[in-house]
Structure formats: structure tokens, C-alpha cells
Amino acid sequence: MAKILVVEDEINIRESIFAFLSEKFDVTTVENAEKAIDLFKNQYFDLLISDVRLPGMNGIDLVKRFKELFPDSTIIVITAFFSLQSAIDAMKSGANEYIPKPFSLDELLLKVENLLSIQKLANEKNYYIQEREKIFGEIIGKSSAIQKVKDDITKVSGKNVTILITGETGTGKELVAYTIYKLSQKKGPFIPVHCAAYAKGIIESELFGHEKGSFTGAEKQRIGKIELAENGVLFLDELGDIPLDIQVKLLRVIENRTFERVGGNKTLHTNAQIICATNKNLEEMVKNKQFREDLYYRINVYPIHLPPLRERKDDIELLANYFSKKKGFFFITRENIELLKSYNWPGNIRELQNIIERALILSSDKNLRIDLAMGDISLKNNFIDDNISVDKSLDFLISEFEKAIIIKALKSNNFNQSLTAKQLKIKRSTLQYKIKKHKIEFKNNTIGVKDE
């Protein structure tokens, strides 16, 4: 709920604004600028409504102070002494709207809702701009697989066609969609919709919006994401989760660029570019009547496939260094790089980033301890092989498996037996016994096995 601060010395006006707006917003009221500034020290406000003439500090100076502290917030100035010069002064100070008294509370509410809606879109856009300052800044890699993705992005950017991005969870589909948006230099916003996050009865209203009274709980008109994406990009993530009846309406949007709000009769138009993404096999879903064939062909105008991380292992070192250097300078040993490359990464880039962040917590110096961060998952991945030969006895296979684990753990811990025992969750004396049992020996920082 948006937080609004009202600064007004006339008690009747102050209480009327509070009573009217507090039904929809978190409203705080004070009678002078000094009390408002005290609140600024500990609270954030999305919007300021201030009279110009106040006891003590005037409203214009308050607006300047508010704008210094909360540059992304919005401001409405009200006054009974309207003049063109005072309006200009208010706007120069940072006000977004100027309302002369007397005014209707409905007019005030409309301006508040419009400003907060604009502010929300601006904040979303600023967030993505800050997160992705460079065009390909977070699309890391030099492998042929990721170079093809970058080539596809360059080719399709600026062309207002429907795009389908496919790939496993965690491969960076939203990042690719946003990069296309940035390269296209569209004037409108980038509006993401994570389709799997909404229940069947909610996704329709989320996409198309609804009219007041169209269903139980629809107390006011709602603008849908399609409408919000005007002149920009609508990104539909996990498209395969959209119900079949909603797919019909989405097909119309793509084909005719028209739609209606839920409960509405007015036909609306959109020029938003639509980019879809899925981790599902839509062709298989079409065969199983789980996804409309006509919609599939309409969204698949320009497909971009993101390879899983296990198919671009040459990029793992670049990615690991990129994520670690966000927090400062850290060194990743060659052994730990090989450990990362040996893992299959079912969670893809998102899982790799989580491992790096865990390693940053576990590392006591600049040497990034990937081995500690991966723990048991690296051992399981590195030593359980579906193609392992089973023509030996079970006891022999278990013994060889144990020996391989110990050797790998010793190498990853630079032959430090205490750290190796800790990683394997056994006592140091137990580790020493098993080293002796398996006849593992150390020579010049290498590990071997004594001859029988």
C-alpha cells in the first residue's frame, strides 16, 4: 500500500483528505513542514501532498527538502492563492501537480492514482536499467552456444515481432527478453508477467484488466498488464502454464492487437511487442491438446533457445568470476574451477550464482572455497556414474568408490586432512585410517596409490 504524507494547516481540509484517501492508501497527516521533516528522518513516503502557505517553513521549501530525500517520489501542491508564478515555482521545486483550492476530493484521488501508477512504472524501468547497465552486461560467455544467442538478440532487436524464448529453468530467459527490450529502445515499459504464479481465475484479470463490478471483489477498474505495456514489451514467462481458455484470448491479442477488459464491452488496442518464454516442450503439449496449435505457431515467429549450463561449460569460469567479483576480488583455484565444470548444474546459472554466494560466506580469505560451498552435491555428481561397470563384486565397487571420493576431496582441499575430514563429515583419525587402508600416498603435491 502506497504511503502518502499530507501537510495542511487547515484542520477541516486535512481531516477531509485523510478520511477520503485512507480507504485506499496509508495516509499520515501533519499541520506544518517542521513535523513533516521529522517524519522524513525515519519513514519513506511515495507521495507528498502539501499546502503552499504553511506556518513556519513554506510548502515550496518543504517540496525541495522532500525531493532531496526522496528523488523518486511524487508531489502534489495545493493552495488557495493560485498564481501562474507560484505554479511555476512549485514545478521547478519538484512538484508533479499543482491544484488550486477549492478542489474536489475525486479530482485529488484521480491525480494521486495517476501519479502513483506512473511512479510504479518508472520504478520498474529504473530497476531494470540499474540492474542491466550494459546491453550484454549480464549475458556472460564466449562459447559458441551463447554467441548464437547474442547474435539472435541482435538480429531480432528493433523488429516488432513475437518472440519465443525456450530453455530450462535458470538459464536466463527474462534477462534475454529484457536485453531485446533495451536494444529496441522502446519508449514504453518492460512489463513481465510470470504466468505460473497466478491461479486460473486471476491470470485473466492480470493480463487483460477488469471493469468495476465485473466479479465479486472487483471494487474498481483495474488496468491489465497488456494495457500497461503500451509502446513497450509484454514479457509472458512460463507461457505453457496459461489455461486453454485464456490462450484463445491471447491469440486474438497477437493476431488482431485487440482485447477487452474482463466484464467490459469496449475494444482496446495494443502496440506492445510480445515476448514469450517457457521451460516446457510446447510441441509436445500441442500433441497432447494441452496447448493450442494456432497460438504456438503465432508466438513462434522468431525462436531463441537458451542452452543449459551443462552444454556451455566453457563459460562456467567466466560466470563464476563475474558473480564473485561483484563482491570484491576473489581467487578461484584451478581445482575449484574443474570442480564447477564437473557438475551438471540442473538449476543452471541460477544455481551457479547461489553456489558462488554460499562460497563467499564460507570463505575466510580471498581464496573462494567452492568445494565447501558445493559440499555433498559435488561428491554425488562427480562419483556416481550411470555407466559404471558392475562386473566386479559389490565390496570391491564400494571400496573403489570410497577411495575415489577421498582422493578427490584431498585434492580439492589442497591435501589438508583436517579440511578434508570436515568436508566428508568424518573424524580426522578415521580419514587417516582410510588413507592407509586404500594405500593413498602424497608425492610433490600429487596423490597416488602405492603398488601392491
Quickly list DSSP for 382-408.
Answer: HH--TT----S-HHHHHHHHHHHHHHH
**pLDDT-based confidence at residue 443 (cuts at 50, 70, 90):** low
State how far the alpha carbon of 159 is from the alpha carbons of 213, 278, 335, in Å.
Answer: 39, 21, 45
**pLDDT-based confidence at residue 216 (cuts at 50, 70, 90):** confident
**pLDDT given at position 392:** 62
Name the residue with cell 580419514.
431
pTM, rounded to two decimals: 0.56
Residues 6+ apart with CB under 8 A from 288: none
Cα(265)–Cα(255) distance, rounded to whole angstroms? 19
Q: H/E element holding 244?
A: helix 244-256
Cα(227)–Cα(287) distance, rounded to whole angstroms? 32
Span 66-72, average pLDDT: 80
Cα(270)–Cα(370) distance, rounded to whole angstroms? 48
Span 130-154, average pLDDT: 79
**pLDDT given at position 448:** 57
Q: Please state the φ and ψ torsions of residue 272, each to the nearest 5 degrees.
A: -65, 140
Handedness of CA 132, 136, 142, 144 (dihedral sign): positive
Q: Does 71 or 83 have the greater pLDDT score? A: 71
Give me the domains of the chain, ranges plus CATH numbers. 3-127 (3.40.50.2300), 147-305 (3.40.50.300), 311-383 (1.10.8.60), 394-449 (1.10.10.60)
Summarised one tens digit per residue, pLDDT across range 228-268 is 999 999 999 999 999 999 999 999 999 999 999 988 888 99
**pLDDT given at position 133:** 44
Residue 383 reports pLDDT greater than 50: no
**pLDDT given at position 82:** 64
Summarised one tens digit per residue, pLDDT across range 386-416 is 445 556 677 777 777 788 888 888 877 778 8
**pLDDT given at position 271:** 92
Q: Of 10-14, 208-212, 392-396, which one has max mean pLDDT?
A: 10-14
Among 31-40, 42-51, 118-127, 383-392, which is the least confidently predicted range?
383-392
Residue 71 reports pLDDT greater than 70: yes
Task: Round to the nearest angstrom and report the end-to-end CA distance of the chain.
Answer: 74
Cα(121)–Cα(7) distance, rounded to whole angstroms? 26
Mean per-residue pLDDT over the chain, rounded? 84
Residue 280 reports pLDDT greater than 60: yes
Summarised one tens digit per residue, pLDDT across range 92-104 is 878 888 888 888 8
Cα(330)–Cα(369) distance, rounded to whole angstroms? 10
Q: What would the grid cell of residue 251 be?
A: 491469440
